[in-house]
Structure 1
Amino acid sequence: MSHLKAVPLVPLLLILGLVLVDLVFVNIKRVKPAEEPDYSLYEQTLLDDNAQKLEGSAFVNNASPLGELQVSGSLEDFAGFVLVEKGSLLNDAKTTSNIEELRNGLLSYGVEEGDNLSSIAAQFGISVNTVIWANDISDSSLIQPGEELVILPVSGILHVVAEGETLPSIADAYDVELSEIATFNENKIAVGDTVVVPHAKPASEKVAAYSGSSLPDLSGYFVAPVANGWNWGELHDANAVDVAAACGTPIVAAADGLVVSVGSPSNWNSGYGGFIRLEHANGTETFYAHNKANLVSVGDRVSQGEQIADLGNTGRVYGVTGCHVHFGVAGAQNPLAR
């Protein structure tokens, strides 16, 4: 009788385990990877659907920004986003193709159909007279489409430098702060250069001090800048009178107008402290000085009786006037003068 040799159990189980593991990996390799879903049909359907919606929604060719925003359903279709055409955020009534940069902040503006001096001045936030003076316009009705106008960066004039003149001497001649002129001009100037003089008038346009009686009487055109204030009534510097009241009392516009100049209450400003200058449609100007706070900015349009400042005592204030507004009128009699 022969005897069979026993095979150890543990090595046998190990061998069988390795064989099974190998078979599993072989089968895994043979499994075909799952294919990525085909979204092309869905995407095309979505694009086609949105393309149809674009015709009546936020992406509207040649529409103004407000027009685009007001199209029905635009916010719904685009989850709160509004699609606009590139460049449509520019004022569609005026393009930049008719505006050219010159020097010292000056611009050359090509007059367009429908323009007038008032609309051009309002577009650039300067006074109508500034446009007239810079371009020697004698008749506003004569501006024509295609005509080139020089536009200043601020209300004021262009001064042609004469022999021996400097920026300080020009500032003195027009009674403006040197720092204001330096803001808009190069430090070095030569004979024949043009200098921007902010908030100035041509010499022929200046109103002489204490000459109120020789100016036109526009009774009823202006209202008092301070309600129930104490009117000292004495005409002084630049056809002005002082009206006193409690500090912080509202100062209102004496007539409809455009804000052409503003001086900070924290600055001296030739003794005026905080001030505001308004230009009115009839060519006159009103001036409000020593303000505690200014509530308007250059380029703002204000209505008669609208508050523009708080009454104060900034700048050079002395004597018994205390908190008051120095109210000046250029181009007409001061209605508060006694």
Structure 2
Amino acid sequence: MTYQASGNRYDSMKYNRVGRSGLKLPAISLGLWHNFGGNDRFENGRAMVRRAFDLGITHFDLANNYGPPPGSAEEAFGLMLQKDMAPYRDEMIISTKAGYYMWPGPYGEWGSRKYVISSLDQSLKRMKLDYVDIFYSHRPDPETPLEETMSALDAVVRQGKALYVGISNYSAEQTAEAARILKELGTPCLIHQPSYSMFNRWIEDGLQDVLDEQGIGSIVFSPLAGGLLTNRYLNGIPTDSRAGGPSVFLNSEQITAGRLNKIQALNELAKERGQSLAQMALAWVLRGGRVTSALIGASRVEQIDDNVAALNNLTFTSEELRRIEDILAAAE
């Protein structure tokens, strides 16, 4: 049966301007980092992409190495575009990245012009696209001049392979320098994608100030701290959870008794707000308007519905914010 997008898909989603650009992103975006690769069930991923779009999520975030195995999330997404989303391409923001290991030899990772442009060409083939909307340098390369990596980003825009460029995992200082170089080249840095959550607040220590000064937007990944800020761990560590297994994203050592106490206290506050813990955690990263979009992952359609419902209550009283700070400041 042919997919027909919901006619009211734009009625309740909130869209935020990306820095000082002309682009807007949905407050909640869908990341295809995990659960969309070759090791996962295609129809489940397809159902999640359809549901996300029906809820007004127009932004789908990928990278060359997403899977597992690497490359397979882009291949699966390319098939979803073909089967379902092709009529809606101009309503979608599709991003991908290059920076992590993809193929053997000296040109298969990091930030050389050779790797960055080759990687994007491969990504476009996997997704069967002529261009992506946003292309990122996924991580800074300590051995390649920043000018070379940024000039590669500038080149792909001029070649028509990307509409905008961004950076991910760059420090405040690296971001300021990257933004300066890109501005001089004539292709401004649109967006930064850092990790950020109640348990991981490094961007507050300078990076957000740089982004504000430069007019760069931000889309934060892991806003739920790898699942810690959900109802999954309220009663300890389930054996079938990420932390209960051999996950590379979360392990049992990260879930101390003190951290469990924090999760439970935060959950009580979320309940008072009429939200799930995940919904409050998403609302919290979006508070104050300094974050453009929160990037969610999902393994089930219902999680997307639950996360998008966070937008029903994005405001915090000063008392609620103080309570959150007190909970987070407690010893672990």
Q: TM-score surpassing 0.5?
A: no
Greater share of strand:
1
The normalised TM-score by structure 1 is: 0.22
More helix by share: 2
- The structure, 1 or 2, with the larger RCO (C-alpha pairs under 8 Å, 6+ apart) is 2
